[in-house]
Chain A
Amino acid sequence: MSTVYHKPDTADQPYRDPTPLPTDLPKVAELGTTSAPLKSAAFFIGAYCKDYNDDFMLCKAENRDPAHCLKEGRRVTRCAQDLISKMRENCLEQFKAHWNCLEHNNQEYHYCRKPERTLNKCMFEKLGLVKTIPGIPEGKTPIHDVKDPIYGHVQK
């Protein structure tokens, strides 16, 4: 077990995890998606993986021990992976445009409505997923559908 830190880009050997997960657990690849694509996909993850997410959070409410909810956690990760790969298959261009926009705009949704709308449209047409924000006051347009918002690139 070496405790010396080697920079991964200059190390002469590939990085080996000295303390991997126990082998009796089923393997699940981590999602590895960075923050902007995650933020872009967040509402679709919420819609697509609702059952798994709820199940996992209920399990966590039972017991905070990380060992308690590993199975549910794997399901959550697999579901998110499934969704991200489906998004990439069906709406790669729109997805990329949106998360690149988020990346360049401090990860704020209200600067990126244009690419977001094309992404939402594509996701609805191809996968039937709709972005819904819970708790909107009754009779109001959801903020991502407002035609002429006050807060945008130019504050009006």
Chain B
Amino acid sequence: MSAPYRQDMPPPGGFQQIRYKRNLPFRGPSGAVILAGVTAFCGYGFYRIGLGNLEKRELQRERVWSRIHLVPLLLAEGDRDAYRRQHAALEREKEIMKDVPGWEAGKSVYHNPRYRPADTMVVL
């Protein structure tokens, strides 16, 4: 008893494709894309820093000019006080040295008419 001869054949429609390719999941954007993205991001940041530096410069200019406008006022007030102290020091010197003959009160030790601020100050 023998089975009738039958040639073994592929299934109708052929075999399935052999899956030889690696089946890896998508791992995110490529290195080049990330690099480009980070560069763009940093570039924008640096651009803002540049704008901020320009703004800082303007803020500094504003600050400086606000002070420059006040300088005459503060200097005038300080000058009046300095003049008052000078005057008081002279009076004091006259009072202390009144018994010394030939003493010139307020005479500078330098032979120079240029103004020198007092080296010492009496806080009163």
The interface size of chain A toward B, counting residues with CB under 8 Å, comes to 54
Secondary structure of the A contact surface, majority rule: loop
Q: Pick from A6-14, A15-23, A88-96, A121-129 the stretch touching chain B.
A: A15-23
- CB within 8 Å of B: which A36-67 residues: 38-39, 42-43, 45-46, 49, 52-53, 56-57, 60, 63-67
When the two chains form their complex, are residues A31 and B77 in contact, meaning their CB atoms are under 8 A apart?
Answer: yes
Complex Cα gap A144–B55 (Å): 11
- With known contacts A19-B124, A133-B61, A57–B115 Cβ distance under 8 A: no
What is the CB-to-nearest-CB distance from A59 to chain B, in angstroms, rounded to a whole number? Answer: 10
When the two chains form their complex, are residues A77 and B61 in contact, meaning their CB atoms are under 8 A apart?
Answer: no
Q: Does B42 contact A (CB under 8 A)?
A: no
Complex Cα gap A149–B84 (Å): 47
Q: Does A134 contact B (CB under 8 A)?
A: yes
Closest residue of B by beta carbon distance from A140: B58
Complex Cα gap A42–B11 (Å): 97
Complex Cα gap A117–B20 (Å): 73
Q: Does B91 contact A (CB under 8 A)?
A: yes
Q: Does A154 contact B (CB under 8 A)?
A: no
Among A17, A133, A136, chain B packs the most CB atoms within 10 A around the CB of: A133
When the two chains form their complex, are residues A143 and B58 in contact, meaning their CB atoms are under 8 A apart?
Answer: yes
What is the CB-to-nearest-CB distance from B69 to chain A, in angstroms, rounded to a whole number? Answer: 3
Which residues of A are interface residues toward B (Cβ below 8 A)? 1, 3, 17-22, 28, 30-31, 38-39, 42-43, 45-46, 49, 52-53, 56-57, 60, 63-70, 72-74, 76-77, 80, 108-110, 133-136, 140, 142-144, 146, 149-151, 155-156
Q: Would you list the 6 A-B pairs with minimal beta carbon distance, nearest first?
A: A46-B69, A73-B76, A19-B88, A65-B115, A143-B58, A66-B79
Pull 26 A–B residue pairs with CB atoms less than 8 Å apart, ordered by A. Answer: A1-B124, A21-B80, A28-B80, A31-B77, A38-B73, A42-B70, A43-B66, A45-B69, A45-B70, A52-B72, A53-B72, A53-B73, A56-B72, A65-B115, A66-B79, A70-B80, A73-B76, A73-B80, A74-B76, A76-B73, A77-B73, A109-B59, A135-B65, A144-B62, A151-B52, A151-B55
